[in-house]
Chains A and B, each alone.
Chain A
Amino acid sequence: MKAQRAALNERIINSLIKLAGYSSIVFVGLILIFLVREGLPALNDVSLKDLFGSRWYPIEGYFGILPLISGSLLVTVGAILIAIPLGIGTAVFLSEFSPSWLRNLLKPIIEVLAGLPSVVLGFLGIQIVAPFFRRFLDLPTGLTAFTGAVLLALISLPTIVSIAEDALNTVPPAYRQGALALGATNWQTAWGVTVPAARSGLLTALMLGIGRSIGETMAVMMVTGNAPVLPSGLNALFLPARTMTATIASEMGEVATGSPHYHVLFFIGIILFLISLVVNLTASSLSLRSRKRAERLLS
C-alpha cells in the first residue's frame, strides 16, 4: 500500500518534470502562434508593396517598414564594426597575453557590463554620449544612429568577449606548443595558429553579438532620435534613425487593438523573431561543428 502510493507519487513527479522539460518547445510555439495571429492580418490591411515601402508614417496610413529595417541594419552594422575589434581584441588579450591576475580582475568587470540594464545605458547615452558626440562631431543633434551603435557595441561586448574567450581557451594546448616549438613567437602563435583554430567559435561570438544588437530595444530607442527615414548614404550614420525594436516599443502603447497599425507592429515582431531564429540557429550549429571538429582532432 505504502509502496504503491510512493510509486504513484513518483510517476506524477516524473510526468511533471517531463512536462516542464517540454515547456520550452511549447513556449516557442506559443510565441510564434501569437505573433502570427496578431501580425499576419497586416497583410490584409496593407498591400505587400506598401508594407515594404519606404515611408513609415502610420497616422496617414503609410506602413512602409523599409526605413525601420534599414535603421536596424545601420545601427547593428555600426555596432558590430565597433564591437569586433574591441571584443575579439580583448578576448585575444585575455586568453593569450594577459597575466592571470589581470584576467581574474577584468573578466568579472566585463560580466558586470552584461548585467547592466539597457535602460541604464540608454539613460547615460542621453546624458553623456549624445551630448559628447554632438559637440565633438559638431552635429545638430547627438541622438543619431552612431550614438545608438556605440551603445549597442557596449551592450554586445560582454557576449562577444566571453564566448570568444571560451573559444580561444578550448583550442588544444598542443597547437600552441607545436607552433612555439617551431620557433614562432607568442604573437605569431596567437594570430597564426590559435585564432584561426578558434574561428568557428569566434564566428559564434559574432553571430550572438549581432543577435543582441538587432534585438536590443530600450537603449537604442532612447538615443537614436526616433526618425524613421530611409538612409540615403553613409552620412546617415550621423543622422537620427529608428529601429524595428524601437518602433514597436514606442508605438504599441498608443495603437488601438486590432487596427492596421497594431497588426503591422506585430508583423515587425514576426520579422524580428525570424531574424533571431536564424542568427541563433546559425550560431549554435557553428559552435556544435567546432566542438565536433575538436573532438575529432583530439581523438
Chain B
Amino acid sequence: MQSKISVQNLSLTYSDGVESLHEINVEVIANAVNVFFGPAGGGKSSLLRAFNRLNDLADVRHLSGEIWFNGKNILEPDTDVIELRRKIGMVFSRPVPLPLTLWENVAYGLLLMGEKRKNRLDEAVEKALRLAALWDEVKDRLNDPASAISGGQQQRLCLARVLALEPEVILLDEPTSALDPVSTAKIEYSLLELKEQYTIVLVPHNVQQAARVADYAAFFLQGRLVEYGIGKQLFVSPKVKETEDYVTGRFG
C-alpha cells in the first residue's frame, strides 16, 4: 500500500466560528476506496473540500497543517489550484448537471483546458461515459440538455465529467444520498472497478455503504479523527468505543 495524499495536523475553522477539523492526521491510500464516515457535521466534507482547495470558495477563518500530494504541500499559496482540481476531481451529494448539453457537461473540464479538437473531445467523452457505465443509455442523445436525464443518470454523468479529465484522485461526497437503490448499486459497482486505476475517497451515505466498499476507513466525530484503519477490521472489530457505538447503530 502506498499513500496518495497525506494529511498532517490539519485544523480548519470557518468564519462563523464553527471548528470543522481539529488536528487531523490521515493517509489516503492509492488505488483503493478510502472511506471517511461518521455522523453529519463531523468534518468529512470539509476535509474533502480541502483536498482540491474548494474551501477557497468558502469563508475560512483559520487553516493550518499540511496536505501532501505528489510531493507538494497543496496548502502552500503557490499551488496551482486549477491544475490541482484537474488531478483531484469531485462528485457532490446532489447531482448538479451544468446547464449545458450532455456532451458539453462531460467535455467541460477539457474545454476549460483549451482543448478544441473535436475528435479528441469526442473520444474523451465516450471513454468517460463508458467508465461511468452511462454510454449505452445516452449515446444517441448527447446533444440533449443534461437536465433531461434521470437523477441516477445525472450522478453518473457527474462522475463521467470528472473522469474525462483523467484525474488521479476522485472525491465523492455522499454521491448516492439523492439516489434510488438501483442507481446507488450502479455507482458503488463503478467505484470498485475504478479503484484499479484511480484513488478514491468516499464519504458514504450510511454505515452499510461504508462497510460494503471500504478498503480503508476513517471515523470522524465532531471534527476529530477517532479511528483509522483497514476497512474490514474497523467495521468488524473497532478499537474505540465511539466507533463501535456508531458502527453498531447505537447513535448516528
Partner-B contacts on A (CB < 8 A)? 2-3, 6
Contacts and interface: CB of A to CB of B under 8 A. Distances in A.
Contacts of A3: 114
B16 to A, nearest CB: 12
A6 B116 CA distance: 14
B80 to A, nearest CB: 9
What band does the interface of chain B fall in when counting residues whose beta carbon is under 8 Å from A? under 10
A6 B115 CA distance: 12
Interface string B106-139: 0000000010000000000000000000000000
A2 B114 CA distance: 8
Contacts of B114: 2-3, 6
Nearest to A3: B114
A11 to B, nearest CB: 13
3 contacts: A2-B114, A3-B114, A6-B114
Interface in B152-192: none
Contacts of A6: 114
List 3 A-B pairs, minimum CB-CB distance, nearest first.
A2-B114, A6-B114, A3-B114
B229 to A, nearest CB: 41
A193 B114 CA distance: 59
A6 to B, nearest CB: 6
Nearest to A5: B114
A3 B115 CA distance: 11
Interface string B90-114: 0000000000000000000000001
B124 to A, nearest CB: 18
A152 to B, nearest CB: 45
A70 B114 CA distance: 65
Contacts of A2: 114
A89 B99 CA distance: 43
Nearest to A10: B82
B87 to A, nearest CB: 15
A6 B114 CA distance: 8
